[in-house]
Amino acid sequence: MDLVNPIVRRWLAEAEEDPDAFWARAAEELHWFRPWKRVFQHEFPSFRWFVGGETNLAYGALDRHVAAGRSGHTALVYANERGERRALTYAQLLHEVERTSAALRGLGVEKGDRITLYMPTCPEAIVLMLAAARIGAIHLVVFAGFGAGALSSRVVASGSRVVFTADVTWRKGKETRLKEIVDDALAIDRGAVEHVVVLRRGATPPPWTGARDVAWPEFLALGGGHSGACEPMEANEPAFILATSGTTARPKLAIHVHGGYGVHVHAMGRWCFGLRPSDVWWSTSDIGWIVGHSYIVYAPLLTGCTTVAYEGALDHPGPETLWKIVEELRVTGLFTSPTAVRLLMKYGAAPARGFDHRSLERVFCAGEVLNPPAWEWLQREVLRDRVPVIDHMWQTETGGPVFGNPYGLAMLPIKPGSAGLPLPGIEATVVSAQDGRPVPPGEKGIMVLTRPFPGLTPTLWGEPERYASDYWQRIPGVYYTGDSAHVDEDGYVFFAGRADEIIKIAGHKLGTIEVETAFLTHPAVAEAGVTGRPDPVRGEVVSAFVALRQGHEPSAALRRELVEAVRRELGPVAVIGEVNFVRTLPKTRSGKIMRRVFKAVILDRDPGDITTIEDEGSVDEARRAWAEMRAELAAQRPEAGAEP
């Protein structure tokens, strides 16, 4: 059965037949100071796009719209959980960026220098990102809330000369003192840092370190006598570096460049999300993640639409917050995470029904697989099939979407649980981990990318050897995504989880996503995370950690119901070793479940680097649940660990 619309089929065919011409047409939609001499140059394992061309992300995001007569169009709307709002037009945002660019130069920041932003998602931080790109400096944004160790390691690895921070940020009504965390991080290792620039927002003055620390007004005053002009950048010069989100033990610093990255996120904004200048677009992410870089800041502004930046929790001061903002700002396109959807599921559909969200035209999810039960809840129960809820997939390293439903070209039928198809310009296949050969439809394997595309990181900052070994040499000649997946007979891709998290039970392979989705079919379950536990008979069995919805309590009877729900969905091959009830799951700040923490808990090992974790108490929570379950199993049977 061919479900692909003829329009999409034509785009896919053109991209496959002549990739260079295809991407050149996409690049022509952006501004170039100087045209490229060569579209693509492969220098395995690295590569270059639009070689010799000169552009600048910040110029394309601001100056060209102002020059086109759109000065008064709203560029940025800032909102936070405290009810504060602020809006900037394209002319106003450009003015602030020019002023900040001059201040950076006044501080001594030059083209090629690195700066670290440890700031909340606020206008000043977004202005800084654009100002750094404007003068050719390289920004590294670290999520505001990471601990001192995580911040220190990233600052040192990047070689940053300046750290920008705020005194405080707010989440769920609580104040986090960011400046103190910066001080602690620099006490661990100051590296190349010369100055800390501090944005004051709170009532209590932050601690101060003499000549090193600079207040925000004094920083801006340094711009006097300096230019805020744009620096033309060769297409392959770095715009920013960003650490991967941290489900692996040691984050990597991915590089994204002015040319290829800009082309990719702009094109995928149009093709995948249907971005257009008239949109009020809200990505609920944070600027500390690639989604925040690409679809809060760069792609919406390259498109010329209005982008919404939100600081705080989506369920504070109440579960209606998201829907209240959609109504207030007349949001047309919403991009959120499956974690956020499952969070809102806990409260039911009633909070959404109290608000008018008729302006909303489409909703997108990414970060982890949008499990079919969560999709069903949002698509049917909340939105009542009025607008589509579309899953898609990408990574920090890819810059923008690689698998999805091309809503902006011609939307295809939605298959719940699928990330869609490889998008135009993306060449991908599922191969055997053993020999690298393509596997037939329906068979699980490793998802690989067979050809570079403009948004793909060309290397890792300071670790070119690791880039080669981790991505291009695991399965020689192809880019290793690290994800297990299968493709169905229609070409739709279904991701099963990270390849190293596949559970092997008596020779059968189960993806973590499959098992977690099966748990979510039970109405008591809000979230579930699973891992494989060694078993002397079957090789592995499933160890599950389950958080319940409001109004449900753990019990032996509920545990039996959950085991039965999984077997009903997946069959007898899904052997559940135990169900551990927890209040919260260990997740990264970007919402990804840290399944390696579960593995460490049940094997009584050190979980490694957990500086990216949302709630450190969730590790202790998992340990508590596992200890209780182990004691319960031991009381039931002498062979503790057998299937309950």
Least confident window among 71-80, 144-153, 204-213, 285-294: 144-153
Q: What is the mean pLDDT of residues 291-298?
A: 98
In 3D, which of 421, 492, 427, 408 has the Cα closest to residue 17? Answer: 427
Res. 641: pLDDT tops 50: no
- Residue range 52-97, pLDDT digits in tens: 999 999 999 999 999 999 999 999 999 999 999 999 999 999 999 9
- In-domain check, residue 585: yes
**Residue 575: which CATH number?**
3.30.300.30
- In-domain check, residue 376: no
Phi, psi of 624 (to 5 degrees): -60, -50
282 & 411 share domain: yes
Please give the residue that has the higher pLDDT: either 49 or 621.
Answer: 49
Q: What is the mean pLDDT of residues 243-268?
A: 86
Domain that residue 551 falls in = 518-635
481 & 528 share domain: no
Looking at 433, 463, 486, the residue that finishes a domain is 486
Distances (CA, A) of 537 to 540, 567, 575, 593: 8, 19, 11, 28
Instruction: For residues 338 and 367, give the distance between their C-alpha atoms in angstroms, rounded to a whole number.
Output: 7
**pLDDT level of residue 614 (50, 70, 90 thresholds):** low
Residue 161 neighbours by CB distance under 10 Å: 20
Instruction: For residues 383 and 349, give the distance between their C-alpha atoms in angstroms, rounded to a whole number.
Output: 9
SS (H, E, C) 319-387: CCHHHHHHHHHCCCEEEECHHHHHHHHCCCCHHHHCCCCCCCCEEEECCCCCCHHHHHHHHHHHCCCCC
- In-domain check, residue 363: no
Q: In the chain, how many domains are there? A: 2
41 & 112 share domain: yes
Looking at 465, 486, 507, the residue that finishes a domain is 486
Can you give the pLDDT at residue 560?
94
Q: Which of 57-66, 168-177, 243-252, 495-504 has the highest mean pLDDT?
A: 57-66
544 & 449 share domain: no
Distances (CA, A) of 361 to 84, 246, 273: 25, 32, 11
State the residue for tokens 């309950």: 644
- In-domain check, residue 51: yes
474 & 549 share domain: no
Can you give the pLDDT at residue 639?
43
Three-class SS of residue 553? Answer: coil
Q: What is the mean pLDDT of residues 608-635?
A: 77
- Residue range 190-244, pLDDT digits in tens: 999 999 999 999 999 999 998 899 999 999 999 999 999 999 999 999 999 999 8
Q: Enter the DSSP assignment of 121.
A: S
Q: What is the mean pLDDT of residues 9-21?
A: 97
**pLDDT level of residue 247 (50, 70, 90 thresholds):** very low
Residue 24 neighbours by CB distance under 10 Å: 17
431 & 532 share domain: no
User: Any residues with CB less than 8 A from the CB of 33 and at least 6 apart, and which?
Assistant: 54, 55, 56, 59, 232
Res. 640: pLDDT tops 50: no
- In-domain check, residue 117: yes
**pLDDT level of residue 589 (50, 70, 90 thresholds):** low
Is it true that the peptide bond before 45 is cis, omega within 30 degrees of 0?
Answer: yes
178 & 303 share domain: yes
Q: Which of 96-110, 368-382, 484-498 has the highest mean pLDDT?
A: 96-110
In 3D, which of 201, 198, 194 has the Cα closest to residue 219? Answer: 198
Res. 265: pLDDT tops 80: yes
547 & 622 share domain: yes
Q: Average model confidence (pLDDT) for the chain?
A: 93
Res. 643: pLDDT tops 60: no
Residue 110 neighbours by CB distance under 10 Å: 13
Res. 321: pLDDT tops 50: yes
- In-domain check, residue 174: yes
31 & 174 share domain: yes
Q: What is the mean pLDDT of residues 351-376?
A: 94
Residue 583 neighbours by CB distance under 10 Å: 12
Instruction: For residues 379 and 373, give the distance between their C-alpha atoms in angstroms, rounded to a whole number.
Output: 10
301 & 417 share domain: yes
Q: Enter the DSSP assignment of 59.
A: I
- In-domain check, residue 511: no
Tell me the angle at which helices 123-135 and 90-106 cross, rounded to the nearest 10 degrees: 60
Res. 314: pLDDT tops 50: yes
**Residue 277: which CATH number?**
3.40.50.12780
Judging by beta carbons within 10 Å of its beta carbon (0-12, 13-18, 19+), is residue 307 exposed, middle or buried?
Answer: buried
Instruction: For residues 133 and 85, give the distance between their C-alpha atoms in angstroms, rounded to a whole number.
Output: 26
Looking at 469, 486, 503, the residue that finishes a domain is 486
Q: Which H or E run contains 431? A: strand 428-431
Is it true that the peptide bond before 317 is cis, omega within 30 degrees of 0?
Answer: yes
Res. 642: pLDDT tops 70: no
481 & 535 share domain: no
Contacts 24+ apart (CB under 8 A), 14-23: 14/424, 15/424, 15/425, 15/426, 16/427, 19/425, 19/427, 19/451, 19/453, 22/424, 22/425, 23/49, 23/263, 23/425, 23/453, 23/454
In 3D, which of 37, 64, 41 has the Cα closest to residue 53? Answer: 37
428 & 566 share domain: no
- In-domain check, residue 577: yes
End-to-end Cα separation, the chain, in angstroms: 43
